[in-house]
């Protein structure tokens, strides 16, 4: 709200003017009743002649009220929309800055709920807030006017306010637990729905749609019941707030009649007080709206505050880095230990020492769970080591500016993500940093090195071709090559390929890796599962149990490392099996094609 105080000051100010004018209308009605209406009914020609003047006065005040109402709603609505935008932007911006370790601890559905339902819950209270604050001015002015008219009449009119306060206190006590439960269930429903959508292929192939439907229905019914409880509480609270102004008006008429008969006040004073209390029905309702939103707003704000207050485990550095060509990569006495949910710790990496010369291609191999992905993730600083240091060109990666590190150390993972956008946007990712957006020539050059330029040229529109959701109109290998081009277009000094070509044809993979070589090319860290890839590396690092077992050329490791020999044999057998499957599939396609062309 402070970020848009000008908008809210205008909204509250016009609401306050509305409140003053509302009280003014009541006084105008009282004066007209005493000086025009009553004398005119009694036959006064002078009073009858002033009826048009009285109507004009009422019309003028009514127009003023309409203008202030319009301005209040315009500025209140604008301020509410701006605050909601700020909160959504703040939450999603925080998501992008928090480390992967934080994201792994929070389900995607919960994060979606934080950025949508929780933001709405936290900010909806700001929509009626200017009106409610303006109403406070109205109540102050009305109280002064009523007490100046008659003490007993004022007390009769204002007795409903403490009753409304008590009703709201009871309401909040009942509402808060129900709102907390409903808000949590919204996140759970979103999480289950997201899992079902993401696993659509799995669910369809295994025929488990019924199971997913039952799981979603169960949680949706719990959310329904929670919302019903919230609705019941509001259903009991709202009529109480609605009936209070009516009871106050009735009490004003009774007390006013007694006071008029006693000669203490005039009929116009009673009319003004009754009219004012009738008008206060909506303002009191506005207080009800605000107070009714308070429990849900507090719950929503608490949930998004946990995101906004989360602190990254990776404090950003401030040192600039502008490499030329490939960078030297060093890991000195590196260890990484993580805590376990039930207590205790697990060492993922231990005593890693590596020194990789600029421009070299190094294959990282090892059995599943050896720590290969964890090791290379340290270079791109997806996480920091618990001991030791990781350096590029002699600089600790923790000291580097995040923008420089992200630009010059490019990570391409096995699981690639393609946005539902054009090819150009997917490759450049609209990188509008100080380096500017790569031009089309740079994009084509990167696509060429990734051996996917022919695929893009065949698409309708070329670089402007729209890709389906998650690149649905591309094959798995094409998506991986597009992701590789996305990294290459930045001309990185270090290129980390974490099994990034697993779906690429081996011949194309070899052509890609050869294309990365040459003077000025990046230093390549290649997590490999194919011997054809390993054989193209300048050096091989064998990792097992979180440690570097040995390093050297392929032939050197075959000669002295039994574990590597077993691994190489397994890799060759797996490569042969995949090659045979590909050959069988190709032969079957040829048979089908020939049958279609000549059924005889």
The DSSP-derived string for 17-37 is HHHHHHHHHHHHHHHHIIIII
What does the pLDDT read at residue 347? 85
What does the pLDDT read at residue 331? 92
Strand partners, 548: 543
Residue 457 half-sphere exposure, CB side, CA atoms within 13 Å? 8
CA distance 329 to 391: 6
What does the pLDDT read at residue 144? 76
Question: Class assignment of domain 329-564?
Answer: alpha beta
* 3-state class (DSSP) for residue 545: coil
- Are 124 and 299 in contact by the 8 Å Cβ rule? The answer is no
CA distance 509 to 437: 27
Angle between helix 209-261 and helix 267-279 axes, rounded to 10 deg: 170
Tokens of 347: 């060492």
CATH of 2-308, one of 1.10.8.10, 1.20.1560.10, 3.90.1170.50, 3.40.50.720: 1.20.1560.10
Tokens of 409: 């150390």
What does the pLDDT read at residue 588? 47
Residue 297 half-sphere exposure, CB side, CA atoms within 13 Å? 16
pLDDT in tens, 293-344: 676 677 677 777 777 777 766 777 888 888 888 889 999 999 988 877 666 7
Strand partners, 319: 400
Q: What is the pLDDT along the chain (600 residues), one digit of tens a residue?
A: 555 667 767 777 777 777 777 767 766 766 777 777 777 777 777 766 777 777 777 777 778 777 877 877 787 777 778 887 778 887 877 777 776 666 666 766 677 777 777 777 777 777 777 776 777 777 777 777 777 777 787 777 777 777 776 776 677 677 767 777 776 777 777 777 767 766 666 666 667 677 777 878 888 888 888 888 878 877 777 777 777 767 777 777 787 788 778 777 777 777 777 766 666 666 666 665 666 667 667 767 777 777 777 776 677 788 888 888 888 999 999 998 887 766 677 888 898 899 999 988 898 988 888 888 889 888 888 888 889 999 999 899 888 888 888 888 888 887 777 777 787 787 887 555 555 677 778 888 888 888 888 888 888 878 777 776 666 677 777 788 888 888 888 888 898 888 777 667 777 877 787 777 766 788 889 888 778 778 888 899 999 888 988 998 888 888 888 888 888 887 777 666 655 655 554 454 444 444 434 444
Radius of gyration of the chain (CA): 36
- Are 300 and 115 in contact by the 8 Å Cβ rule? The answer is no
What does the pLDDT read at residue 579? 58
The closest alpha carbon to 449, from 364, 533, 522, belongs to 522
337-357 burial, b at 16+ Cβ within 10 Å, e below that, comes to eeeeeeeeeeebbbebebebe
CA distance 317 to 332: 19
- Domains 2-308 and 329-564 belong to one CATH topology: no
Q: Which of 581-589's residues contact partners 24+ apart within 8 Å by CB, and which partners?
A: 582/505
- Are 114 and 122 in contact by the 8 Å Cβ rule? The answer is no
Asked whether the CA dihedral 502, 506, 509, 514 is positive or negative, the reply is positive
**Average pLDDT value for the chain:** 76
Tokens of 217: 């229905």
Sheet containing 494-498: give its strands across.
Answer: 409-413, 494-498, 523-527, 361-365, 539-544, 547-552
Strand partners, 495: 410, 524
CA distance 408 to 496: 11
- Are 292 and 237 in contact by the 8 Å Cβ rule? The answer is yes
Tokens of 144: 């002064």
CA distance 558 to 180: 61
| Cα-to-chain-centroid distance, residue 379 | 28
Alpha helices (H) along 262-280: 267-279
Domain coordinates of the chain in residue numbers? 2-308, 329-564
DSSP string, 200-245: HHHHHHHT-HHHHHHHHHHHHHHHHHHHHHHHHHHHHHHHHHHHHH
């Amino acid at each position: 709200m402070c970020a848009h105080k000008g908008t809210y000051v205008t909204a509250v100010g016009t609401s306050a003017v509305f409140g003053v004018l509302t009280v003014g209308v009541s006084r105008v009605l009282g004066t007209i009743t005493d000086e025009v209406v009553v004398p005119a009914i009694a036959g006064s020609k002078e009073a009858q002649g002033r009826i048009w003047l009285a109507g004009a006065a009422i019309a003028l005040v009514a127009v003023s009220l309409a203008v202030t109402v319009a301005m209040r709603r315009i500025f209140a609505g604008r301020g509410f929309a701006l605050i909601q935008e700020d909160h959504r932007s703040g939450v999603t911006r925080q998501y992008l800055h928090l480390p992967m370790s934080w994201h792994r601890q929070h389900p995607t559905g919960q994060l979606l709920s934080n950025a949508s339902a929780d933001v709405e819950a936290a900010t909806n209270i700001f929509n009626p807030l200017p009106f409610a604050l303006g109403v406070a001015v109205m109540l102050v002015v009305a109280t002064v006017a009523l007490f100046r008219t008659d003490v007993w009449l004022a007390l009769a009119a204002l007795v409903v306010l403490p009753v409304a306060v008590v009703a709201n206190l009871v309401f909040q006590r009942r509402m808060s637990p129900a709102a907390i439960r409903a808000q949590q269930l919204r996140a759970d429903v979103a999480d289950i729905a997201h899992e079902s959508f993401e696993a659509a292929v799995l669910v369809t192939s295994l025929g488990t749609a019924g199971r997913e439907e039952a799981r979603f229905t169960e949680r949706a019914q719990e959310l329904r019941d929670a919302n019903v409880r919230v609705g019941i509480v509001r259903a009991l609270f709202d009529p109480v707030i609605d009936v209070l102004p009516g009871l106050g008006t009735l009490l004003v008429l009774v007390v006013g009649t007694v006071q008029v008969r006693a000669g203490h006040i005039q009929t116009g004073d009673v009319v003004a007080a009754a009219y004012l209390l009738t008008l206060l029905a909506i303002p009191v309702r506005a207080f009800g709206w605000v107070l009714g939103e308070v429990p849900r707003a507090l719950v929503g704000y608490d949930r998004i505050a946990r995101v906004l207050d989360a602190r990254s485990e990776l404090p950003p550095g401030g040192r600039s880095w502008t490499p030329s060509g490939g960078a030297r990569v060093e890991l000195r006495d590196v260890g990484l230990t993580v805590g376990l949910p039930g207590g205790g710790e697990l060492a993922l990496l231990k005593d890693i020492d590596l020194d990789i010369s600029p421009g070299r291609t190094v294959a990282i191999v090892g059995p599943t769970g050896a720590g290969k992905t964890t090791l290379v993730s340290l270079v791109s600083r997806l996480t920091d080591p618990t001991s030791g240091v990781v350096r590029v060109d002699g600089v600790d990666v923790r000291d580097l500016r995040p923008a420089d590190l992200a630009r010059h150390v490019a990570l391409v993972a096995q699981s690639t993500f393609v946005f539902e956008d054009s090819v150009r946007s997917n490759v450049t990712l609209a990188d509008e940093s100080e380096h500017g957006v790569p031009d089309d020539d740079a994009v084509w050059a990167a696509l060429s090195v990734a051996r996917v330029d022919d695929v893009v040229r065949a698409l309708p529109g070329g670089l402007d071709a729209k890709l389906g959701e998650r690149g649905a109109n591309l094959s798995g290998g094409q998506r991986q090559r597009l992701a590789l081009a996305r990294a290459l277009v930045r001309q990185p000094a270090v290129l980390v390929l974490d099994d990034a070509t697993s779906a690429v044809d081996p011949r194309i993979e070899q052509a890609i890796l050869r294309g990365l070589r040459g003077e000025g090319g990046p230093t390549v860290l290649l997590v490999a599962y194919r011997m054809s890839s390993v054989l193209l590396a300048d050096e091989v690092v064998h990792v097992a149990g979180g440690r570097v077992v040995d390093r050297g050329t392929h032939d050197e490791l075959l000669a002295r490392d039994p574990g590597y020999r077993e691994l190489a044999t397994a890799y060759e057998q797996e490569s042969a099996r995949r090659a045979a499957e590909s050959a069988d599939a190709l032969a079957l396609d040829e048979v089908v094609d020939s049958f279609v062309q000549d059924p005889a």
